[in-house]
Structure 1
Amino acid sequence: MGDMKTSLQGKLAIVTGGAGGMGRSHALRLAELGANVAIIDIDLKVAARYGETLSAASVRDEILNLGRDSIAIEADLSDRKAAFDAVHQIERHFGRIDILVNNAGGAITPIGSSSASMASEEDRNTLFAANFHTAVNMCQACVPALIKEGGVIVNISTVGVCLDDAAARFAMYSASKAAVEKYTRSLAVELGPKQVRVNCIAPGLIATPRVASQAAARNLATGGQADAIPLRRLGQASDITGVVEFLVSDLASYVTGECIRVSGGLQLQTRT
């Protein structure tokens, strides 16, 4: 087995939504493993907005301080042209793309009106744009370069695809992520013969700075909810990053079209 500390040496990873939270965790870990990292985010100042403490002025600077090259692009990836333009800029700078981590997205509409029976057309469109269209645009933009390198795609879903809270408050968000999971499987079938692997991760309740700032108002990812998780704790960004590391490494060289639930066993619980 090769040295994991340099297992991605010379490779280029793109992390969407990489300017803070889980995306930042993924970007820094990939850089620690030797990769150069391109960050694309709709808001490059998102870390400061949610009070996240960085070790440098930006995530890009943190990556540079690790001795890796990095660029950061602010773009709305639900816009197909913006996604393709960002990818072309990255290719011009680095000359290759080996890894795509589609982390951008989230449950960004008011959850009090996001249930299956109440969600407005506007909120539905917003959620599918942020979660599904963004992922598809980036996959399609990166596929030609990934085929050249025999690359890897990791999409991010949610454990909410296979369970709901009592009020089904995340119905449309979860539906958009269910679409991501199906797209992941189809893309894996299509790109497998070209030696490109495509997998998905479905996080549970992860205590990112953004989630923590909204926890009380949304009654989401609170200490009380941790008691209902078999592992009896909320997830941390590093819990998801560890699975990203596995999926982009040679340890997962025969894994494609899968969705790995990373929820502490949350989906195993019987709701009453």
Structure 2
Amino acid sequence: MGKFKEKVAIVTASSDGIGFAIAERLASEGACVMVSSRKHQNVDGAVRELKDKGYYHVSGMVCHVANKEHRSRMIEKTVEEFGGIDFLVSNAAVNPIFGPILDSTEEAWDKIFDVNVKSTFFLVKEVVPYMVKRGGGSIVIVSSQGGYTPSQLMGAYSVSKTALLGLVKALVPQLTQMNIRVNAIAPGVIKTRFSEKLWKGNNEISDNYLNTIPLRRFAEAYECAGAVSFLLSDDASYVTGETVAISGGVSNRL
């Protein structure tokens, strides 16, 4: 389609799952895309797969988003290779603990908030000057349906995703002065490796989640990519500070 021709995007945690689906969608629409992940072999594999599909304006970088030096190197490499930055999709997240919230540890909370919330904010802050140089830009933060309705088994993770809903709102007043829009998506249960404990197999956990979804199925990763493409594009030029729920009809309200 080419609607993102000459646009440059960074997509974090994009070697697999939702992040990879978003990177592929943006590349298919003409964007230059910087893929990133914590593991070198995963980055190489994702870049190779995208280039094998004919998306040659794709590069990759090892980046642990909680590491400031990693973020700086990723941003610098993006600018060196592609000339600037127009889009940021902040997708990286962790969930090191699965179970009742009162069983969670201080170490788990520190890690979750360091990666899911703090790193998202600072990545936005560090990318913004480069967007200003391009005359503006667009940011999408990947939150979660759990940010609206916390999972009983992923409590701390859910709270971190609620924080991202607030972060989007908090960023709007300042970013609009720079011609930068910021929005979010809130996926429900997506069939990825990250969330397989919630959907994989026929068991009580997956059955309980499935019973709450009006569409009666779990989503595929590519079903998030179209919403991100829309929010980044000029089709959403009057949309900022919003969160699009991709949850199969599950009610989402704080």
Given the alignment of the two structures, is residue 130 of structure 1 paired with residue 115 of structure 2, yes or no? yes
Please tell me whether the aligned partners of residues 28 and 62 of structure 1 are also in contact (alpha carbons under 8 angstroms): no
The residue number in structure 2 matching 1:64 is 51
Secondary structure, aligned partner of 1:228: coil
The residue number in structure 1 matching 2:33 is 37
TM-score (norm 1): 0.84
For residues 166-213 of structure 1, what are the alpha-carbon distances to aligned partners after superposition, in whole Å with 9 as ceiling and x for unaligned? xx2222111111222211112122110211000011110111133237
2:132 and 2:227 map into 1 onto residues whose CA distance is 22
The residue number in structure 2 matching 1:23 is 19
2:242 and 2:26 map into 1 onto residues whose CA distance is 21
2:87 and 2:70 map into 1 onto residues whose CA distance is 19
The residue number in structure 2 matching 1:176 is 160
For residues 49-76 of structure 1, what are the alpha-carbon distances to aligned partners after superposition, in whole Å with 9 as ceiling and x for unaligned? xxxxxxxx72212333324322211121
Shift in Å, 1:112? 1.9
Q: 1:72 to 1:265 in 2, by over 3 A?
A: same
How many residues of Structure 1 are paired with residues of Structure 2 in the alignment?
251
Given the alignment of the two structures, is residue 10 of structure 1 paired with residue 6 of structure 2, yes or no? yes
> Amino acid of the residue matched to residue 141 of structure 2?
N
- What RMSD, in angstroms, separates the aligned Cα atoms of the two structures? 2.4
Shift in Å, 1:21? 0.8
The aligned runs of 1:220-235 (5 Å cut-off) are 222=206, 225-235=209-219
TM-score (norm 2): 0.90
Q: 1:25 to 1:138 in 2, by over 3 A?
A: same
Q: Which runs of 5+ in 1 are unaligned?
A: 48-56
Tell me which moved more, 59-68 or 97-106: 59-68
Tell me which moved more, 79-88 or 243-252: 79-88
The residue number in structure 1 matching 2:104 is 119
> Amino acid of the residue matched to residue 184 of structure 1?
V
The residue number in structure 1 matching 2:68 is 80
Match of residue 198, structure 1, among 159, 166, 182: 182
For residues 149-173 of structure 1, what are the alpha-carbon distances to aligned partners after superposition, in whole Å with 9 as ceiling and x for unaligned? 21110001011111134xx222211
Secondary structure, aligned partner of 1:267: coil
Given the alignment of the two structures, is residue 102 of structure 1 paired with residue 63 of structure 2, yes or no? no
Q: 1:46 to 1:212 in 2, by over 3 A?
A: farther
1:133 and 1:268 map into 2 onto residues whose CA distance is 24
Shift in Å, 1:264? 0.7
Secondary structure, aligned partner of 1:109: coil
> Amino acid of the residue matched to residue 111 of structure 1?
F
